[in-house]
Amino acid sequence: MSETKTVVHDWRDIFRAFKMAFDPKKVFLGYIGLLASLVWCVVAVAFFSALKLVSANPYAFIKLALSSAREGIPLAVKNFLLAIMPLDFGEFIVLGVLVFGLLVIWSLVAGAITRIASLDYARDESVSLMDALKFARKKFWSYFWSPLVPVIGVLFFALCNVIGGMIGRIPVLGDIAVAVGFPLAMLSGLLMVFIGGIGALGLCFMFPTISAEGSDAFDAMSRAYSYVLSRPKQFIWYCIVNTLYGLICLIIIAFVAWLMMRLSFCTVGLGMGQKFQAVQSFILQKCDIACLGFCTTPSAEAKTAAVSLDRWSLKFLAGMLILYVGLIKLAVWTFVTTYLLSAKTIIYFLLRKEIDSTDVTDVYLEEKIEEKKELSAKETGRLSSTKEGVKEGRPSTGEESGSKTGEGV
């Protein structure tokens, strides 16, 4: 076992999340998770659009991934607000299927990433990719249900209010019942705000809890609520440091990606000449890709000008360029994912140390527990065999060895 890494055990440890985010295992898991999520959303929406359950463009997810953060984040917020508006039956089914698939993907991916981050930060131990995935698979249902527990709580109290409203349909008595019991509806609304709001703030601690403690979804939920409510000042301070430092790191990573694309497009364009410029104009006409080698907003003339490529090879080049830019952008979002999961794992350990007075190096180690179980099983089997031998009248092991020694002499 390697020596425990020297850490300061305060907010300055959050700065280590930048280095932890570049762990090759985390980067691989985050990239696969984002790619699988994108493919899942496109395929699911395309399937349900073909069944006429929804009228949505499945390629909107790809456009969202290709757009800039300035344009993509407001669009994502707008789509989320539209998603939580009253839905018809078909849209509700599609939303449920999408959420189910995303939970399945990230229960494995985020669980494995936080497991790697927990052992890295707490004990300076490197766990293999397969061991991390194996741990996430064993704790899959804990990871899966932990984000849903606050949602279920909100839906429960919302259902209580809906049932109360149905009682109000009864003539006269229903009106009186709603009038008298409406304070209970307001109390239910307060509980929905509390459960949903605190649950959203503490959601970031649920996966690190399971990865560090080896516990279940209920323990993850209780710790998430407890840590947010017990140390609100520390929680807010850690979140501020995490956010500001993360934004600075994201700007650096995004600038590197932009500079790489700009240099590659400019140098190849110098060599290829007018054909490459025609390909770029064709791409800008078909889809709006941010940072396509220039990071400037294309003019209205460039968008409206009709550009056609007369050869299939040029169209193939345009499609591959879109793919390459999309993969680079996905890599930038992968850093965001691995950084957030690593930073939230560090914050969880810091809050656990302050609230529960638990040493930072205290992490659930499944291997040692399994070894203890095997040793105890062997001891139990050995004692049971000895007892059976005594009951049957057979001599003990010591007597047998003594008699055999005497005979040999």
Indicate yes or no: pTM above 0.85.
no
At residue 274 the predicted structure's pLDDT band, cuts being 50, 70 and 90, is confident
- The reported pLDDT for the residue numbered 54 is 74
Residue 4 placed within a domain: no
> pLDDT tens digit string along 331-368?
999 999 999 999 999 999 999 999 988 888 899 987 55
**Is-contact 351 232, C-beta < 8 A?**
no
**Average pLDDT, integer, range 203-214:** 92
pLDDT tens per residue, range 124-134: 888 999 999 99
Whether the per-residue pLDDT at 248 is higher than 80: the answer is: yes
Contact 8, 58 (CB under 8 A): no
C-alpha pair distances (Å), 185 with each of 13, 39, 188, 284, 354 = 44, 41, 5, 53, 37
* Token pair belonging to 99: 């959420």
Whether residue 117 is predicted with pLDDT greater than 80 in this model: the reply is yes
Q: Which residues, other chains included, contact 184 with Cβ-Cβ below 8 Å and sequence gap of 6+? A: 164
- Is 326 a domain residue? yes
20 pLDDT band (50/70/90 cuts)? very high
Q: Which domain holds residue 69?
A: 14-370
Q: How far is CA 394 from the centre of its chain?
A: 60
Instruction: Specify if 401 maps to a domain.
Output: no
Exposure string (b/e) for 213-222, b if CB count within 10 Å is 16 or more? bbbbbebbbe
Q: Is residue 91 part of a domain?
A: yes
3-state helix vs strand vs coil in the chain, percent to 5: 80, 0, 20
pLDDT tens-digit profile of 35-69? 999 999 889 888 888 887 777 777 777 776 666 55
Q: Give the span between the Cα atoms of 178 and 260, in whole angstroms.
A: 64
Nearest to 150 by CA among 195, 192, 107: 195
Tell me whether residue 342 is in a domain: yes
pLDDT digits (tens, 9 = 90+) for 76-109: 556 555 555 566 667 778 888 899 999 999 999 9
Domain for residue 121, yes or no? yes
- Compute the distance between CA of residue 195 and CA of residue 210 in angstroms, rounded to an integer: 20
390: in domain: no
Contact 352, 227 (CB under 8 A): yes
Instruction: Give CA–CA dist 117/111, Å, rounded.
Output: 10
In a domain, 392, yes or no: no
pLDDT in tens, 126-167: 899 999 999 999 999 999 999 999 999 999 999 999 999 999
Alpha helices in 293-393 (DSSP H): 300-304, 312-356, 366-391
Longest dimension (CA), the chain: 108
CB proximity list for 246: less than 8 A, separation 6 or greater: 17, 336, 339, 340, 343
Question: Which of helix, strand or coil describes residue 56?
Answer: coil
Q: Is the CB of residue 16 less than 8 Å from the CB of residue 345?
A: no
In a 3-state reduction of DSSP, which class is residue 85? coil
Give how many domains the chain has, as a whole number: 1
Q: Which of 101-110, 291-300, 372-381 has the highest mean pLDDT?
A: 101-110
Give the gyration radius of the chain's Cα atoms: 29
Let me know the angle formed at the C-alpha of 372 by 121 and 215, rounded to the nearest 5 degrees. Answer: 50
pLDDT class of 289 with cuts at 50, 70, 90: low
Residue that has been written with the tokens 């930048």 in this structure: 18
Amino acid at 28: F
**DSSP letter, residue 54:** -
Cα–Cα distances in angstroms (integers) from residue 94 to residues 53, 80, 97, 305, in the given order: 8, 14, 5, 38
- Residue 314 to residues 63, 264, 290, 320, 403, Cα–Cα distance (Å): 21, 17, 21, 10, 92
What tokens does 326 get?
């999309």
